[in-house]
Structures are given as C-alpha cells and as structure tokens.
Amino acid sequence: MTLEFYGQKITSRFLIGTALYPSPAIMLDAIQASGSEIVTVSLRRESGKDLAGQKFWDMIRSSDLRILPNTAGCKTVKEAVTTAQMAREIFDTAWVKLEVIGEDDTLQPDVFGLVEAARILCNEGFQVFPYTTEDLVVAEKLVAAGCEVLMPWGAPIGSGRGLNNVYGLRSLRAHFPSIPLVVDAGLGLPSHAAAAMELGYDAVLLNTAVAKAGDPVAMARAFGLAIESGRLAYEADPMEQRDMAAPSTPVIGLPFWNQKHD
C-alpha cells in the first residue's frame, strides 16, 4: 500500500529530525543515508543572534527535502498555534507537526490542548500531524477535528525505551485501519523501529537515536533498513504466535523402525 500524507505520495517510511547532530555536514549525510524524504524542523532553529538559523534553512532547502515544521517546546494552545502560523510563512507549507507539551519530565502531550490547537489549525487550512499518546478517545477527537494523520509516541521523547505500550499501539492500529499512523518519539534501536512497522504502522519518526549515536550516518542507515524490513514483514502476513510447539518437519509419513530386543 502506497503511503500518503494529506494526498501526497511518500516513498520513504522514515521521517527524521534535524536537531542534536555533531555538525550540519553529519546531519545531511545521516539524512541521505536514512533514505528519508521528510525532515522535521523546529521554528526555533530560525531564530537567534544574527539570524543564525537562516544558514540552516538554506542548507535544508538546497537538499530538496520535504519540510515538516514542528511546534516543539510549546506548552499552550496559543503558543502552538502562533508558532504554527509563523512556520507556515517561513517554510511555505501547510504541514505542521503539532506538539503541545503538558509535562516537563516525560514531555507527554497535553492532549486537551492538543485537540483544541488541532481544531483551530485545521480550520485555518493547516494539514496537522499531531504528536499524541496511544489513547483511542483522544485519537477519535483529533480525527474529528480534521487530522488525517496520527503520531502516537512509542515512549517519552529522547528516552530510547522503544514501544512502552504495545497493546495500546496495536489497538490504535486496529481502530484506525485506514488512517496513516506514525510512531513518533522514544525509539532507541533499529529493532524498536522494526517492531513498530511489524505492528502495521505506516512510518516512524525519530531524531535522538540517530543524532546522538556514535556514528549517526551508520545508525541512520540501520534504522532505514529496519523500517523497510519491518514493513516487508508486516505485508508478508506473519505467522500467528502459539503457546505450544509445532514441528516444522511433518511427522506423518515418516518411517518408524521396530527395534528387536533379546
């Protein structure tokens, strides 16, 4: 099945962030190694002394990547909406990864503010990618607000813990079979990404696990391969788990030899 976000066909199922890399050159090499065509960019990278972020934006723009601006660090509906509006002007896109953070230690989304901000932005013509939890009720409200993509977390941002609630993520996939679902945040190893794809998720978004690796370029490639492998496994219709063993070699038809005893 072809992956589409708001009617746009996407080839790679790996969305990658642009923060925390040792250098801009390593960042670009890692993005290339990942095979990703979508990168998330925080508006805050565009601010600062002497418009330092402008050089970063020029570099990203020259790479011919699709930009997904995000409202990283926003804690109120007003702040998130304003940041999204500014991002649309700067990056010339209606796409926005919407974050409304509700708790400092876990960076868990404020799902009440998230739904409110999503409704406002969707009404203003934004194409919203909400960073949310695996809660089904919240997901229903985000879809009702106009979101055509859902991005539940795997674990707290930057924790590297993998998929904390496999049951919840599996339930979300079953509940929304036709809506693109992207596991966003908390993955630390390529195996975590493969597991997310094997659940039937459409894509994975991550940053820290690549950017903070000893070799970000190699890790980006590893994640890219794992995501592709996980998707292929899901599409291949894996065998169901069993409680008991099942012989891989058939017993029926095998010869049995009688042993004589003295």
Q: Which residues are designated catalytic? A: 97
Q: Is 208 marked as a binding-site residue? A: yes
Rounded Cα gap, residues 164 and 89, in angstroms: 36
CB-neighbour burial class of residue 194 (10 A; exposed 0-12, middle 13-18, buried 19+): buried
Distance CA 223, CA 160 (A): 13
The residue written with tokens 């975590």 in the block is 192
Q: Are 197 and 13 in contact (CB under 8 A)?
A: yes
Residue with tokens 């991550």: 206
83 is in an annotated binding site: no
Is residue 73 part of an annotated ligand binding site?
no
Could you give the 3-state DSSP secondary structure of residue 140? helix
- Report the distance separating Cα 76 and Cα 51, nearest Å: 25
158 in a known ligand binding site = yes
Query: How many helices (H) and strands (E) in the chain?
Result: 9, 10
Looking at residue 127, its amino acid is: Q
Residue 40: helix, strand or coil by DSSP?
Answer: strand
Q: CA 76, CA 134: separation in Å to the nearest integer?
A: 21
Contact 2, 9 (CB under 8 A): yes
Structure letter (DSSP) for residue 44: G
Q: Which residues carry a binding-site annotation? A: 158, 185-186, 207-208
Q: Residues comprising the binding site for 1-deoxy-D-xylulose 5-phosphate?
A: 158, 185-186, 207-208
